[in-house]
Structure 1
């Protein structure tokens, strides 16, 4: 589809300016500043955006949103295809044109339904994409729970999946990393998982035993498998809390620190040149639901490279605009949800408003300080 847009506030990697953009065959063909348009017939033939922002399509590296549709209540499963379609529609409406669905492999709760939905979920995503049912581009981010006894067997079928773009090493055993404060852990699992106080207490010792039995050996095996792949596969650590956690990740070849929980861990990640991802809900809410370091604090210290919507797709764009309150320019803020995550996983054809790149872009209007998505295009075709 060929199209031209005029009178837009265009956000590129370096600046914001009024102007026009033309699309040819799904590619950004030209970008022209308003000062150069005075004598052009584009003034009358192009679509007038009336000063709305033109942003790159958002790139999401870690969203658990699909799980909410697959399991809308504790112990309640939903049919796979309708769940995927609903998830995809929500993603597209939030302005996300490329998404890594964060699929959990293993769980600290042996009664969880995650293990039962793993195969159906990944097969369903492929089938829906191949059938042309999905609006956004969907890839896989496999989140590996290291204390899972059968982790290697469960992960093996996905090692060479062409959709796999990121692997993260997680350990949600209470008492460390994200759950150093057991008060926050008890509140979380009783609310989200519906655990009673008695179950929480009975699980604590069991979870520690599982960690001691499987986590270290699973981590060594997973890292070794990823190193043997013919194509480079980014590795991330999850919830780094100490400098030692970061150093361990660097030794394993990790390039990304997801959701560091302390300022010290984030500083160590920066010193080791790891990409730092923080949660957009953390930014919007003004703090972590687990009582950890806030995204705003890391932004003020220039220790934030990428935002992830995590469990609220609509938080991604909102959080990016809030970064301006922490000293980020608008181009730098927008890069945390577009260019930076795209480059972090080796996607160089998108994530930026620049000639020659794929025409993934958004029309955004700021209303009462909130960025509102008015339209979403992927490869020049409107998807929301």
Structure 2
């Protein structure tokens, strides 16, 4: 059941900055006033975090290799971690890939089935982004059906084939380890990769049909790891208007110039740069070339990245928090959330103002996480 509360004494973040004006919630929405008064002095209330791309949930689904027995229990554990980090809407980035194992088609179907059963049991709004490997020509129809059956609203296109090595007739690096990890004979794995590589000349036509169908259905589409302006332009021509984690400054700037949205990883900012030498999210944020930050593989990084940008003077707190709230909401077409305006979903995170730790999280006006003094006040 959603709560009817009036938070008083807190610093409340709005697009114009922090305010001490009371904030009310009722019926799962931000209300004009009223509700049981709760003194939240010493706390800061911000819009709930919207994670546009995260695969940290995988740790809960398979804590050890091969231990993938109870998808539902794993998703519930993942939701608890999301809530404890202030995330109120989470896009779970699930592969549909030739790479097999947790990235394979069968596992994707298991996750989607498990999520459909688990959603009624959790508070956080859990959604899926399907990450489809474009070289899988035989799976295009199956992917269409899967997207429709599970009402998937966001599809991202990947190509992780090591084309340079395959074209040269070489064994790709880490081939044996990758194959054994998913229980596949290395030689059979190599043959499958070679077959996919050989069919790449037929991919553009199949991809154009798929993207046209998804665009007509109103599904958001993104490309992953764009390396050049030309690559980004090619995706844009097919209606793929979200650039996830562009690898170069040229690709990111081309996305911005073309009116596309750029998503960067929050860990990139927390680390002070990309772990593999790609474009710096800090540099891109400094020139206004980031529309949203995503957890990628580490949920705590979203909150930390926003404060790092604010503390460094790259943008003010409202602008930095926009990258983990309103910005992701806009690129995903979620008009009912992302700020604390009247009538919006009551998605909010309450931080201890001194430590900046998450003290409570509410999604749709329901408590998904609370601890310490904030919990004492909320349940008083």
The TM-score with structure 1 as length reference comes to 0.84
Partner of 1:334: 321
Measure how far apart 1:311 and its partner are: 0.9
Structure 1 distance, partners of 2:305, 2:230, is 29
Measure how far apart 1:237 and its partner are: 0.8
Partner of 2:364: 379
Partner of 1:14: 16
- Over residues 266-322 of structure 1, what are the superposed CA-to-partner deviations in whole Å (9 max), with x where a residue is unaligned? 111111111000001111111212221121111122211100001111111111111
Q: In 2 relative to 1, CA 112–380 (structure 1 residues): closer, same or farther, beyond 3 Å?
A: closer
Partner of 1:227: 212
List gaps (5 residues or longer) in structure 2.
165-171, 370-380
Structure 2 distance, partners of 1:85, 1:11, is 29
Single out whichever of 336-345 and 201-210 deviates more from structure 2.
201-210
Kept in 2: contact 1:278–1:306 (CA 8 A): yes
Partner of 1:38: none
Could you list the structure 1 runs, at least 4 aligned residues long, displaced by more than 6 angstroms after superposition. Answer: 187-191, 201-206
- Over residues 33-54 of structure 1, what are the superposed CA-to-partner deviations in whole Å (9 max), with x where a residue is unaligned? xxxxxxxx99xx7211113211
Structure 1 distance, partners of 2:301, 2:307, is 10
Partner of 1:320: 306
Structure 2 distance, partners of 1:87, 1:189, is 30
Structure 1 distance, partners of 2:346, 2:101, is 44
Partner of 2:169: none
Choose which of 256, 259, 273 in structure 1 pairs with 2:242: 256
Structure 2 distance, partners of 1:46, 1:169, is 48
Kept in 2: contact 1:300–1:326 (CA 8 A): no
Measure how far apart 1:227 and its partner are: 2.2
Measure how far apart 1:149 and its partner are: 4.7
Quote the RMSD (CA, aligned, Å): 3.0
Q: In 2 relative to 1, CA 111–60 (structure 1 residues): closer, same or farther, beyond 3 Å?
A: closer
Structure 2 distance, partners of 1:382, 1:111, is 35
Structure 2 distance, partners of 1:119, 1:354, is 37
**Pair 1:148 & 2:150 matched:** no
Structure 1 distance, partners of 2:62, 2:222, is 26
Report the secondary structure of 1:77's partner residue: coil
Q: In 2 relative to 1, CA 376–163 (structure 1 residues): closer, same or farther, beyond 3 Å?
A: farther
Aligned residues: 356
Measure how far apart 1:75 and its partner are: 3.9
Report the secondary structure of 1:169's partner residue: strand
List gaps (5 residues or longer) in structure 1.
32-40, 177-184
**Pair 1:159 & 2:147 matched:** yes
Measure how far apart 1:190 and its partner are: 6.6
Kept in 2: contact 1:174–1:204 (CA 8 A): no
- Over residues 13-64 of structure 1, what are the superposed CA-to-partner deviations in whole Å (9 max), with x where a residue is unaligned? 2222222101121111137xxxxxxxxx99xx72111132110111111111
Choose which of 69, 75, 90 in structure 1 pairs with 2:81: 90
Structure 2 distance, partners of 1:266, 1:152, is 28
Partner of 1:344: 331
Partner of 1:118: 108
Structure 1 distance, partners of 2:320, 2:101, is 40
Structure 2 distance, partners of 1:362, 1:186, is 43
